[in-house]
Structure formats: structure tokens, C-alpha cells
């Protein structure tokens, strides 16, 4: 079959970039990575991209297709060729571009390292006479999805929070964190949760769900971040604004049923900090955006929701297990995998680029033509 690709080429030395179109003959079963290989072999040997295993295990070939991050070895080109659609291929976002489709993964690895991606069993190796530490299947199921991560960076490429704040740990590193927080053999759970709860951690996720949408391995990094939040609250690590914000929702649900909106900001930021913003609050109040806290808006039969809270607490399905219990059911939903085929042309640096990849020598977040 004839397959076309438009590839954003980027020269490191000159900083020049251009969209080059290629058309090659490829076997019907060819993946995006196969097509890139054919182009490199037969048309232009200078085309640069990363690859290794070609079977969705190594995580090397993350790149963008029509603006969304994919593993090149996972995408079959047959439907595109049949539809006559020529997809635009560009480097991943949120990481500096080295050349063509190759990005500098160093910031990614720095964040993975920052969450201490190794087991801390809390003792100096097995001692003579120690018994085996058996981990049950149930215990491992808590971190089954997080263990699937191949560190390709597709989630990180699309993270809206990281685009706003390059220091945000991001979906890959936090999912890796959950992989160890949830591991029954790790003895540093509380320390980990305390570290991950700091600024740029768990509570800075803005729940855009791009990571969940793009992950080629079903890790569901956003769910992993929610699990970390639930574990942190369970362990009483809840003095930061993000956790306080979340706890206020719980408190609202069991006292009045509906969110007590007006008290939310002082409860999150503290009364003193929220007072600094009186002028803003007054503007909102003028337009009815600050409903009076008294009398509270109370849902009928709210005692049921309070009683539910008590019962659930007693049953002790706490922390991450509250999310894990629903994973089996969610796994039975058939995903809609036609998203890529329907995506239209998008340039990586102009309109449609989100988040924009950083280019060498360019100020982060600066506009480029």
C-alpha cells in the first residue's frame, strides 16, 4: 500500500524546522514505526527518531501523530492509507526537542528518579532464618496497572498541568510513585506520601485526563494519582491546600449534602490568605457567586449520606482500595479506539500544538511561528 506521512524535521545546529512530506510503499500490516524505517532506509537517512523493541515493550518510540502522543510501533497505518489521510508526525510535548522526532528525556528521568523508584523494604536484606515474604495476588492487584508502565512519556507529553508548571512531577512519575506506595513490601509508604504531597506533587494534578486518554499501556496515570491522594488522606497527610480542598468536599457531602462553596476557599487557603483577596470576593458576591453560608443549602434526607459515611468508614475499604475495587468493572468497558483515525491535520508548532514541545534555545512557553 502507498502510505504518506508529513514529518516535522528539526535541525539542531541551525534551529531550522520544516514539515516534509513522504510517500512510500509499505506492506499492509505496517505500523507507523515501520513506515518511518522505510523512509529512513530508502528516502532520507537523516531522519531521526528513537526505537528499539518494535513491540510496545521498550517505550522508546513515543511521538505525536496529528497532535496526540502515540507509540509509533502500536499504530497500524492501513486505515490511514485507505482513507487517504496523511498524518502529521511531530515530537512529544513538554520535553525539549533534540532533533526531528527525538526529545531530551532527561527532565522525564529526573522526575522518575525523584519519586525513588525502588523498593525500600526497611531492613538490610534477608537474614539467616528469615522466612520468605509472600505477597498475595490481592496485594499485587493494587498496583497491577501502575506496573504496566513502560516509561514512554506519552502521558507526560500531554500533561496540561506540566505545561503550566514544568516542575510538576507529572503522571508518569506519580504513577511510578503509586507503584511503590501500593507495594506491600515497601516500608516507606508514609515518607513517600509526605514527599509526593508537597508542592508540584499529587495535588497539583488538574484532572485533565489527557494522560489517561493517551497512555498506550492502560496504566491510567490519573487514577494512580487519585489513589495516591486517597492513601495520603488515609494516612492523615492532609495539611496541604489540595488535601484540605478535597476533605472539604467530604465534609460538605456528609453535613449538608451539597458543596458548601462559600467556605471552600477559606478552608483551602486558610482564612488569612483568603482575606487578601477580598476585592475579588466582593466582585463575585455582586454577581451572586458567593452564596451566603447561612442558612446552608441542605439536601433532603442528608442524614442518609452522613450514615453512609459512617458505614463505609467501618467497612474499611479505605485509600487506594476504594479505587482498585472498581477497576475490574471498568476494564470490561470496550474502549473507543477510533480517535486517531478521525483526527485531522495539526501542525506541532502552530495551531493544534498542545502542549508545545520546547525547542533548544527557546524560552519555555514562548510563542514560535
* Long-range contacts at 231-235 (CB < 8 A, ≥ 24 apart): 231/178, 231/181, 231/182, 231/189, 231/193, 231/319, 231/320, 232/193, 232/196, 232/197, 232/202, 233/319, 234/318, 234/319, 235/189, 235/190, 235/193, 235/319
Report in angstroms how near the CB of residue 193 gets to another protein at its nearest: 13
- The Cα 260–Cα 292 span in angstroms is 10
CB of 96 or CB of 296, closer to another protein? 296
* Bridge-based pairing state of the strands 2-10 and 88-90: parallel
Q: Which is nearer to another protein, 153 or 242 (CB)?
A: 242
Dist CA 107 CA 159 (whole Å): 14
For the chain, strand residue ranges (E) read 2-10, 17-25, 62-65, 68-71, 88-90, 97-99, 102-103
- In the bound complex, what is the minimum distance in angstroms from residue 364's beta carbon to another protein? 11
Smallest distance from another protein to CB 170, Å: 13
Task: Using the minimum distance from each CB to another protein, give the nearer residue, 50 or 222.
Answer: 222
Report the nearest approach of another protein to the CB of residue 211 (Å): 9
Q: Between 104 and 261, whose beta carbon lies closer to another protein?
A: 261
Residue number, 117 or 322, with CB nearest to another protein:
322
- The dihedrals phi and psi of 167, each to the nearest 5 degrees, come to -85, -10
Q: How far is the CB of 43 from another protein (least distance, A)?
A: 28
Contacts of 14 (CB under 8 A, 6+ apart): none
Minimum CB distance to another protein, residue 331 (Å): 9
Q: How do 17-25 and 2-10 pair as beta strands?
A: antiparallel
CB of 323 to another protein, least distance (A): 5
Residue 221 phi, psi dihedral angles, 5° rounding: -60, -35
Which is nearer to another protein, 16 or 336 (by Cβ)?
A: 336
Between 27 and 236, whose beta carbon lies closer to another protein?
236
Cα gap 8→297, rounded to integer Å: 55
Using N-to-C axis directions, what is the helix angle for 241-255 and 221-234, rounded to 10°? Answer: 80
Count of other CB atoms within 10 angstroms of residue 7: 23
Q: What is the DSSP letter of 83?
A: H
Give 16 or 314: the residue with its C-beta nearer to another protein.
Answer: 314
**What whole-number distance in Å separates Cα of residue 191 and Cα of residue 31?**
43
Residue 131 or residue 300: which is nearer to another protein going by CB? 300
CB of 310 to another protein, least distance (A): 9
Rounded CA-CA distance 169/92 in Å is: 17
Q: Whole-number minimum distance, CB 247 to another protein, in Å?
A: 6
Amino acid at each position: 500500500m502507498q502510505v504518506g506521512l508529513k514529518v516535522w524535521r528539526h535541525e539542531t545546529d541551525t534551529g531550522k524546522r520544516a514539515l516534509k512530506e513522504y510517500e512510500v510503499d509499505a506492506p499492509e500490516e505496517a505500523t507507523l514505526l515501520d513506515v518511518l524505517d522505510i523512509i529512513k532506509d530508502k528516502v532520507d537517512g537523516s531522519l531521526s527518531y528513537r526505537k528499539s523493541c518494535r513491540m510496545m515493550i521498550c517505550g522508546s518510540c513515543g511521538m505525536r501523530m496529528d497532535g496526540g502522543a502515540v507509540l509509533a510501533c502500536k499504530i497500524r497505518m492501513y486505515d490511514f492509507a485507505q482513507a487517504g489521510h496523511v498524518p502529521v508526525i511531530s515530537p512529544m510535548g513538554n520535553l525539549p526537542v533534540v532533533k526531528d522526532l527525538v526529545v531530551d528525556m532527561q527532565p522525564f528521568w529526573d522526575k522518575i528518579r525523584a519519586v525513588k523508584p525502588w523498593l525500600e523494604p526497611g531492613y538490610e536484606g534477608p537474614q539467616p532464618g528469615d522466612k520468605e515474604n509472600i505477597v498475595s495476588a490481592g496485594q499485587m492487584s493494587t498496583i497491577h496497572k501502575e506496573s504496566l508502565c513502560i516509561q514512554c512519556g506519552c502521558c507526560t507529553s500531554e500533561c496540561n498541568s506540566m505545561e503550566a508548571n514544568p516542575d510538576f512531577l507529572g503522571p508518569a512519575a506519580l504513577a511510578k510513585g503509586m507503584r511503590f506506595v501500593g507495594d506491600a513490601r515497601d516500608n516507606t509508604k508514609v515518607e513517600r506520601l509526605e514527599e509526593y504531597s508537597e508542592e508540584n506533587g499529587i495535588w497539583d494534578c488538574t484532572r485533565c485526563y489527557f494522560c489517561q486518554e493517551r497512555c498506550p499501556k492502560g496504566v491510567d496515570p490519573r487514577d494512580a494519582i487519585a489513589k495516591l491522594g486517597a492513601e495520603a488522606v488515609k494516612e492523615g497527610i492532609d495539611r496541604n491546600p489540595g488535601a484540605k480542598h478535597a476533605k472539604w468536599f467530604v465534609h460538605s457531602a456528609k453535613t449538608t449534602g451539597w458543596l458548601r462553596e462559600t467556605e471552600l476557599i477559606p478552608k483551602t487557603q486558610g482564612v488569612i490568605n483568603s482575606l487578601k483577596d477580598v476585592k475579588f470576593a466582593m466582585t463575585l458576591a455582586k454577581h451572586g457567586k458567593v452564596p451566603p453560608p447561612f442558612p446552608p443549602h441542605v439536601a433532603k434526607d442528608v442524614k442518609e449520606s452522613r450514615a453512609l459515611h459512617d458505614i463505609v468508614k467501618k467497612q474499611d475499604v479505605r485509600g487506594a482500595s476504594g479505587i482498585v475495587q472498581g477497576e475490574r468493572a471498568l476494564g470490561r468497558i470496550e474502549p473507543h479506539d477510533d480517535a486517531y483515525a478521525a483526527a485531522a491535520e495539526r501542525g506541532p508548532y502552530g495551531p493544534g500544538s498542545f502542549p508545545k514541545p520546547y525547542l533548544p534555545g527557546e524560552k519555555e512557553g514562548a510563542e514560535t511561528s
